[in-house]
Homo-oligomer: A and B are copies of this chain.
Amino acid sequence: MTDNDAPPSPTTAVAPGAVCVLGLGLIGGSLLRMLSGTTEVFGWNRSAATVEAALADGYDVSADLPGTLRRASESDAVIVLATPVTTLSGLVAAIAEHAPDTLLTDVVSVKEPVARIVAAGHPSARYVGGHPMAGTSQSGWSATDPRLFRGAMWMVSTGDGTDAGDWLRVASIALAAGATVVPAADDAHDRAVAAISHLPHLMAATTAAVGAGESGLALRLAAGSFRDGTRVAGTAPALQRAMLEANDAALLNVLSEAIDRLTHIRDDLRDRGSVEILVDDGHRARLAYEAIASTTPEPITGVTIGTPGWQQELRRQAHAGKVWVG
The chain A residues found within 8 Å of chain B, CB to CB, are 133-136, 152-153, 155, 182, 184, 188-189, 191-197, 199-237, 240-241, 244-245, 248, 251-252, 254-259, 261-263, 265-266, 269-270, 273-276, 278-290, 292-293, 297, 318-321, 323
CA distance A248 to B295 in the complex (A): 38
CA distance A236 to B213 in the complex (A): 28
CA distance A200 to B206 in the complex (A): 10
Q: What is the CB-to-nearest-CB distance from A132 to chain B, in angstroms, rounded to a whole number?
A: 9
Determine which of B196, B205, B227, B281 lies in contact with A221 in the assembled complex, contact meaning CB atoms within 8 Å.
B196
Pairwise interchain contact A216-B320, C-beta atoms closer than 8 A = yes
Pairwise interchain contact A209-B135, C-beta atoms closer than 8 A = no
Determine which of B182, B188, B201, B207 lies in contact with A279 in the assembled complex, contact meaning CB atoms within 8 Å.
B201
| Chain B residue at smallest Cβ distance from A263 | B259
Known: A155-B221, A219-B292, A220-B323. A233 touches B285 (CB 8 A): yes
CA distance A109 to B175 in the complex (A): 47
Q: Please, which residues of chain B bring their CB within 8 A of the CB of A133?
A: 221-223
Q: What are the nearest 7 A-B pairs in CB distance?
A: A205-B282, A212-B285, A208-B285, A192-B218, A195-B214, A233-B282, A133-B223
Q: What is the CB-to-nearest-CB distance from A217 to chain B, in angstroms, rounded to a whole number?
A: 5
Pairwise interchain contact A218-B241, C-beta atoms closer than 8 A = no
CA distance A155 to B136 in the complex (A): 32
CA distance A193 to B221 in the complex (A): 7
Q: What is the CB-to-nearest-CB distance from A200 to chain B, in angstroms, rounded to a whole number?
A: 4
Pairwise interchain contact B266-A255, C-beta atoms closer than 8 A = yes
Query: Which secondary structure dominates chain A's binding surface?
Result: helix
Pairwise interchain contact A245-B217, C-beta atoms closer than 8 A = no
CA distance A212 to B261 in the complex (A): 14
Pairwise interchain contact B218-A276, C-beta atoms closer than 8 A = no
Q: Please, which residues of chain B bring their CB within 8 A of the CB of A245?
A: 269, 273-275
Determine which of B200, B229, B241, B259 lies in contact with A259 in the assembled complex, contact meaning CB atoms within 8 Å.
B259
Pairwise interchain contact B205-A199, C-beta atoms closer than 8 A = no
Q: Please, which residues of chain B bring their CB within 8 A of the CB of A135?
A: 223-225
Pairwise interchain contact B220-A197, C-beta atoms closer than 8 A = no
Q: Please, which residues of chain B bring their CB within 8 A of the CB of A155?
A: 221
Q: What is the CB-to-nearest-CB distance from A213 to chain B, in angstroms, rounded to a whole number?
A: 7
Q: Please, which residues of chain B bring their CB within 8 A of the CB of A199?
A: 207, 210-211
Q: Beyond A133-B222, A206-B278, A233-B282: 7 further Cβ-contacts under 8 Å?
A: A188-B215, A204-B229, A208-B282, A219-B289, A241-B279, A245-B273, A245-B275
Determine which of B205, B208, B215, B293 lies in contact with A289 in the assembled complex, contact meaning CB atoms within 8 Å.
B208
Pairwise interchain contact B200-A229, C-beta atoms closer than 8 A = yes
Q: Please, which residues of chain B bring their CB within 8 A of the CB of A191?
A: 214-215, 218
Q: Please, which residues of chain B bring their CB within 8 A of the CB of A136?
A: 224
Q: Please, which residues of chain B bring their CB within 8 A of the CB of A254?
A: 210, 214
Pairwise interchain contact B215-A192, C-beta atoms closer than 8 A = yes
Known: A262-B259, A266-B256. A203 touches B201 (CB 8 A): no
CA distance A33 to B188 in the complex (A): 50
Q: What is the CB-to-nearest-CB distance from A272 to chain B, in angstroms, rounded to a whole number?
A: 10
